[in-house]
Amino acid sequence: MSVGLQVSPEWWVAGPYQWRLSLVRTSGGCRWSVPVEAAAGPYQWRLPLVRTSGGCRWSVPVEADAGPYQWRLTLPALPQVMKTCRMMGIQTVAVHSDVDASAVHVKMADQAVCVGPAPTNQSYLNMDAIMEAVRSTGAQAVGGASDRHTQAACFGCSLGRACLCPGYPVMIKASAGGGGKGMRIAWNEEETRDGFRFSTQEAASSFGDSRLLIEKFIDNPRHIEIQVLADKHGNALWLNERECSIQRRNQKVVEEAPSTFLDADTRRAMGEQAVQLAQAVQYSSAGTVEFLVDSHKNFYFLEMNTRLQVEHPITELITGLDLVQQMIRVAKGYPLLHKQEDIPINGWAIESRVYAEDPYKSFGLPSIGRLSQYQEPLNLSNVRVDSGISEGSDISIYYDPMISKLVTYGATRAEALSKMEDALDNYVIRGVTHNIPLLREIITHPRFISGDISTNFLPEVYPDGFNGHQLTAGGQRELLASAAALHVSAQLRAQTFLGTISSLGLPPSLCVCPSPFFPCLPPSACVCPSPSLPQVEVGGESLVVSGEWDLASPLLPLKINNTPRMLQVLQGLQLLFKVRVLSPLAAELSSFMPEKVPEDTSSILRSPMPGSVVAVSVKPGDTVAEGQEICVIEAMKMQNSMTAAKTGKVKSVHCKAGETVGEGDLLVELE
């Protein structure tokens, strides 16, 4: 993840004038202006100092009255950067225009290089001069880049060619971004170039703003944020933290409050700094200050979201505050009703983001379709579902794939996790592929349960991608027994007429054939056909399967040897476990059926998801190398580069820019 800013105590400046100041920062498309009062007396003033880190920066436009003239200058907070570097034993180089030769940061630097005359496009935006200064001085990192720099494609490309920015790895992200869109991690020059291109396009497509930030990337951190609430009367509170470390493609998947990692002192320090930031910019409303936290509980400012976050319900549940209500009161001009000591941590809350995505493809590529059946688990206690869809709604390629926010609450974390497991098992979604299997695996994984998580949780736990739930031998037997008992129940119902079961009967044994076969179990089960308590023998073990057997319901609550289980019976491609129940003769004959030969995908490229073609980079007759980009597919504002699986010559191209493609559509063929 990327590092933004840290707050230093204050910065004292001496001078002969009385200054009128305003503190300005541009971030995420918002521009904040904060009046700063001058200190008494004509010789010094002070202001809160924010030092740059990871490519972000604050600047202070200064206006002063000097005699009959009024003049203005922009004073970046570079002197503190110089002080910090000097304290750490790091030499610094200042670049400046000819009129800034006597600037404070130039005097404080170990070396200084003039990069041109006063106009910014001839000096500070003169990338050739900047890069020559970097090369001639041997600088190993570049800091203090302004918004104008990040707008210039040549700046990012120049840094990429010089392997700087501010030293790999870096995070390239949309300045107006959110939800993981317009974000790329680059570990080398090539990834910087590609990341800059994709992030620029995604930012323009998603936010109408192509500006980017390039920041230092911190590997393996936790993502923890502080909820703040401030009014227009100078009052501000921090409403504890939310842990948001479980992510895919830099977008949050599972959040919880509070965090298992923070102690009381760290929580207080983060909360107080978050409040100081909100007050420094005179913010009024609910907002979120996001941090990255390393293994030693050092925390780094990431960004502030000046809006209501997706994950705000978990804060509401542990504090008892309605954040939307509080925002409305603040907007109306009312003061806050609470003091900091009134804000509790009562219990534990967990949120799972339910997406219309295929979790077996890169932890979630978009899925589209119509919700043919949709049933939220609101029959369970302490379960909250925030959604904007209903049965019959269409999930399209044009918007975010989130279906709902599933939230559970408990007196303890273990209770909240147990509730979440039940809620996921009772959530019915038909018509689109969804990520509930992945969510369930996350919350039941030993690492998550123990709190041993980071933003790299998914790739570390599933280095080869998510392949679904891996059943134990006992779980496999329960699955086969459930399928056999369900089959018996369906057959008995079919043979029942006017309350009487026909004399056709059932075979004494059945073959339950999972696909693929479980290696540790024979694909068979012997069933004792009893309408009330089917007894199934699987692999020499006897299991009693009981339930109401309401075959019209999408949910079948069962008991297997008196252990409660929830069964969802599906048909089609969404099956988590595919099981066939056959008679012994049918099973024997099916063994002679030829197996379908898997398609050779090395010579063809199919779309892994529905979307629109943004660009096609090849034409028939071109020679492509393995890993070379062939085309770009955009789905739900995320761009995905499709690459060649092998080196070869392009035989045919079946798509063009602007076209809409479906999942599995043929894009390009190689000879």
Cβ(620)–Cβ(556) below 8 Å: no
Query: 401 in helix, strand or coil?
Result: coil
Helical pair 413-425 and 436-444, crossing angle rounded to 10 deg? 150
Q: Six-digit token pair at 179?
A: 């939800």
**What string of DSSP letters covers 113-173?**
EE--SSSGGGTTT-HHHHHHHHHHHT-S------HHHHH-HHHHHHHHHHT-TTSSSEEEE
Give the pLDDT of residue 99.
67
Instruction: Give the bridge partners for 93, in sequence order.
Output: 111
Q: Six-digit token pair at 636?
A: 């739900």
- Residue 482: its H or E element: helix 473-494
Rounded to 5 degrees, what are φ and ψ at 7? -95, 125
Cβ(31)–Cβ(44) below 8 Å: no
Cα separation, 400 vs 611, in Å, equals 13
648-653 and 623-624 strand pairing: antiparallel
**Residue at 431: amino acid letter:** G
Query: 409 in helix, strand or coil?
Result: strand
| Closest residue by Cα to residue 560 from 546, 574, 570 | 546
Query: 550 in helix, strand or coil?
Result: coil
Looking up tokens 């971004």, which residue turns up? 177
519 to 68, 297, 525, 620: CA distances (angstroms): 90, 45, 15, 45
Give the pLDDT of residue 337.
94
DSSP state for residue 53 in the 8-state scheme: B
Instruction: Name the maximum alpha-carbon separation found in the chain.
Output: 111
Q: Could you tell me the end-to-end alpha-carbon distance of the chain, in angstroms, rounded to an integer? A: 41
Q: Six-digit token pair at 139?
A: 């600088």
pLDDT digits (tens, 9 = 90+) for 613-636: 999 999 999 999 999 999 999 887
Give the pLDDT of residue 598.
83
Rounded to 5 degrees, what are φ and ψ at 596? -70, 125
Please state the three-class secondary structure of 229-244 as a single string. Answer: EECCCCCEEEEEEEEE
Query: Which residues in the chain land under pLDDT 50?
Result: 1-77, 80, 144-165, 517-523, 572-574
HSE toward the beta carbon, residue 601, CA cutoff 13 A: 11
Cα separation, 203 vs 213, in Å, equals 11
Cβ(244)–Cβ(179) below 8 Å: no
**Residue at 578: amino acid letter:** K
Kindly name the residue from 225, 290, 303, 663 that is annotated as catalytic: 303
Query: Does 303 participate in catalysis according to the annotation?
Result: yes
Query: 447 in helix, strand or coil?
Result: helix
HSE toward the beta carbon, residue 422, CA cutoff 13 A: 19
Q: Six-digit token pair at 8?
A: 């230093």
Cβ(274)–Cβ(263) below 8 Å: no
Give the pLDDT of residue 571.
57
HSE toward the beta carbon, residue 447, CA cutoff 13 A: 14
Q: Six-digit token pair at 71?
A: 């003049």
Give the pLDDT of residue 521.
42
Cα separation, 579 vs 570, in Å, equals 11
Dihedral-angle region of residue 222 (phi above 0 means left; psi in -120 to 50 means alpha; beta otherwise): beta
Q: Six-digit token pair at 37?
A: 């009062």
Query: 65 in helix, strand or coil?
Result: strand
CB atoms within 10 A of CB 459: 12
Give the pLDDT of residue 143.
55
Cβ(226)–Cβ(303) below 8 Å: no
Give the pLDDT of residue 302.
86
**Residue at 187: amino acid letter:** W
Rounded to 5 degrees, what are φ and ψ at 78? -75, -35
CB atoms within 10 A of CB 44: 14
